[in-house]
Amino acid sequence: MQAPQNEPTKHGLAAGDAAAPERADWTIDQGWDQYTPAEHGVWKTLFERQSRLLLGRACDEFVSGMAELPMDADEIPDFRRLSDILMQRTGWQVVAVPGLVPDEVFFEHLANRRFPAGQFIRKPHELDYLEEPDVFHDVFGHVPMLMNPAIADYIQAYGIGGLRARQLGVLDKLARVYWYTVEFGLVRQKDGLRIYGAGIASSASESVFALDDASPNRVRFDLERVMRTNYRIDDFQETYFVIDSLDELLDLARIDFAPFYERVLDQPEYQPGTVLAADAVITQGTGRYHAGKRQGAPA
């Protein structure tokens, strides 16, 4: 079976066998001057395609964040210029890294309001699928949302919480919350469901699938429920969790997760496609897409 995949970035994986970094925090220079015209061209292709697809699909905060950043189709953004604007707005910076970095390094950056962004850009033959987060996913997908104060605080809280969750041995639970919010979250806005998750916003196929396809479930976000729910790193999500406003993330940034971890620890986990009686279901999916794949049929 070799059906084309969507383009998730496999964030759930630990950083691979990358060579030892020169700097302890794994940052590198972006080396903006060294991007080739072909690399800027890949950015342009992706930027134009996603900008079209996100009309009426991205949440208002994504659109306004994007509009106020020095980011357009013409070239891969310069992290220094992005950081100037972000710093004024929410106190965040963008720093360059080679790709996935170890969890503790990742959390340490987020806890200090530095967003580690892949320096490289995918190759022309990988437009729709790549294994590690590149500059398009990280910058196009995540950085506009970092202009929003609620997301800005929430991602910092994730960094702080990540260091703690590691010590408690519950990082997998916290990572699910990040996955189903920052990466694959949907938000209910006045004209319907909208995308705020960067994994969706940076993916052509998933930005349509997540909102328009009959296959996935769309369920009201619930913290304990999400902590118990496995996710897919190599294909579209089977279930998307919906918040009513980005301000909900602010509440999540402020509460202590410890009692939730404790409750969840001796409870069974849910598979990605499961819908529970207790769920507030917005859309009950047909499950058709993933069922087809399980049978080895083309999607």
- Name the residues that contact ligand HBI, by CB under 6 A: 11-12, 15, 97, 100-101, 103, 106, 116, 133, 175, 178
Stretch that binds Fe ion, among 13-21, 191-199, 204-212, 216-224 (CB under 5 A): 191-199
The answer to whether the CB of 173 falls within 8 A of the CB of 180 is no
* Among Fe ion, ligand HBI, none, partner that 100 touches (CB below 5 to 8 angstroms by kind): ligand HBI
Pull the structure tokens for residue 218: 């769309």
Helix (H, G, I), strand (E, B) or coil at 218: strand
DSSP string, 54-69: HTTTB-HHHHHHHHTS
Pick between residue 193 and residue 264 the one whose CB is nearest to ligand HBI: 264
Q: Scan for tokens 């969706």, then name that residue.
A: 200
Pick between residue 116 and residue 285 the one whose CB is nearest to Fe ion: 116
Least spacing, CB of residue 175 vs ligand HBI, in Å: 4
Least spacing, CB of residue 290 vs Fe ion, in Å: 22
H/E run at residue 195: strand 192-195
Cβ contacts of residue 196 below 8 Å, gap of 6+?
58, 59, 61, 62, 145, 151, 185, 186, 187, 246
The answer to whether the CB of 71 falls within 8 A of the CB of 83 is no
Helix (H, G, I), strand (E, B) or coil at 170: coil
At residue 132, what is the residue type?
E
Least spacing, CB of residue 208 vs ligand HBI, in Å: 23
Greatest Cα pair distance in the chain: 55
Least spacing, CB of residue 11 vs Fe ion, in Å: 5
Pick between residue 175 and residue 227 the one whose CB is nearest to ligand HBI: 175
Q: What is the DSSP letter of 18?
A: P
Minimal CB distance residue for Fe ion: 198
Distance in angstroms (rounded) separating the CA atoms of residues 205 and 299: 12
Stretch that binds Fe ion, among 92-100, 197-205, 242-250, 283-291 (CB under 5 A): 197-205
* Among ligand HBI, Fe ion, none, partner that 193 touches (CB below 5 to 8 angstroms by kind): none
* Among Fe ion, ligand HBI, none, partner that 152 touches (CB below 5 to 8 angstroms by kind): none
Cβ contacts of residue 256 below 8 Å, gap of 6+?
none
Pick between residue 31 and residue 296 the one whose CB is nearest to ligand HBI: 31
* Among ligand HBI, Fe ion, none, partner that 76 touches (CB below 5 to 8 angstroms by kind): none
Minimal CB distance residue for ligand HBI: 106
Cβ contacts of residue 226 below 8 Å, gap of 6+?
176, 177, 180, 181, 241
Pick between residue 258 and residue 276 the one whose CB is nearest to ligand HBI: 258
Pick between residue 62 and residue 158 the one whose CB is nearest to ligand HBI: 158
Stretch that binds Fe ion, among 109-117, 166-174, 193-201, 214-222 (CB under 5 A): 193-201
CA atoms within 13 A on the CB side of 238: 20
Pick between residue 12 and residue 77 the one whose CB is nearest to ligand HBI: 12
List of residues contacting Fe ion (CB under 5 A): 198
